[in-house]
Amino acid sequence: MKISDIYGNKKTVFSLEVFPPKKTDSVEAIYSTLDGLKNISPDFISVTYGAGGNVADVKTRSIAEIIKKEYNIESMAHLTCVSTSEKDAELILKDFSYHGIENILALRGDINPERPPKKDFCYASDLASYIKRKGYFDVGGACYPEGHTEAASIDEDIVNLKKKVDAGVSFLISQLFFDNDFFFAFSDKVRKAGIDVPVSAGIMPVTNKKQIERMVTMCGASIPQDLAKILSKYADDPDSLTEAGIEYAWRQIESLIRGGVRGIHLYTMNNPVIAIKIYHGIKDLL
């Protein structure tokens, strides 16, 4: 099923993200995560791109296929420009199609100074356009409520976002953020720019201080004062930090849903216990 059809049939779409096991682990390791997640009935699960530039690494596709065929949950595979030449893309898309994967999240990907990026697709809009020309796939894209770290301004970033949507992206999933004011302001700007595709809010529960600080450094998300107090108060108490982080995510999601968000996309970090607690706190709102 195409994910854009799911958005068309639901007021608030609830989705999850998982990532492939480490290179040294078998793809079978994902079953423990999926066994924990299946009972919360997400509308779809996305799988991050774990190929690392190696087209022979099919863990992303394999997990997306497992989700769809063994768990009967719609799936979406990530694909990045930096790791993919046009020749690679042709092979990957054929493989996706053969195995029944209908949805792709087209991303630029993070630049790794130690691994020169492929140059056939410079931007996610280029990759999205290429995928759409194949005619089989539904294509999603990423967006950044506080602006992409490499954009000169949020307005410039939204101009680029419009190019991505015009290239064929039919829904958007946001980078993580912790201040809903940024998301609502971003949503207003998006609508004014003529972008009318559904946007899901990317939510990452705060359960580990160092992990969140690292993620914030990478993506440029702000930490509001009330969250900073939580991180400071429970810096040496991981169990209390987890509980406080879950409560923070509940409040954030509740505000977003009441504000009319089209979807909630939960970054699970392959931790089904946390995802289940988040779901049970917000399920009556969905």
pLDDT along the chain (286 residues), means of 10: 97 97 84 95 92 68 97 97 92 96 95 79 96 95 96 96 98 97 98 98 94 86 94 94 97 98 97 97 96
Q: What pLDDT score does 184 carry? A: 98
In a domain, 246, yes or no: no
Whether 17 is a known active-site residue: answer: yes
User: 255 lies in a domain?
Assistant: no
Q: Is 276 within a domain?
A: no
Q: State residue 54's pLDDT score.
A: 60
What pLDDT, on the 0 to 100 scale, is given for residue 212?
87
The domain tally of the chain equals 1
Alpha helices (runs of H) in 106-264, residue ranges in sequence order: 124-133, 154-166, 180-192, 209-219, 225-233, 238-258
Q: How many CB atoms lie within 10 A of CB 135?
A: 6
Domain span at residue 175? Answer: 3-204+262-268
pLDDT of res. 26: 83
Active-site annotation holder among 17, 65, 74, 146: 17
- Give the CATH number of the domain where residue 121 resides: 3.20.20.220
pTM for the complete prediction? Answer: 0.95
3-state percent breakdown (helix, strand, coil) of the chain, nearest 5: 50, 15, 35
> What pLDDT score does 214 carry?
87
**Rounded distance between C-alpha atoms, residue 3 and residue 282, angstroms:** 21
Determine, yes or no, domain membership for 185. Answer: yes
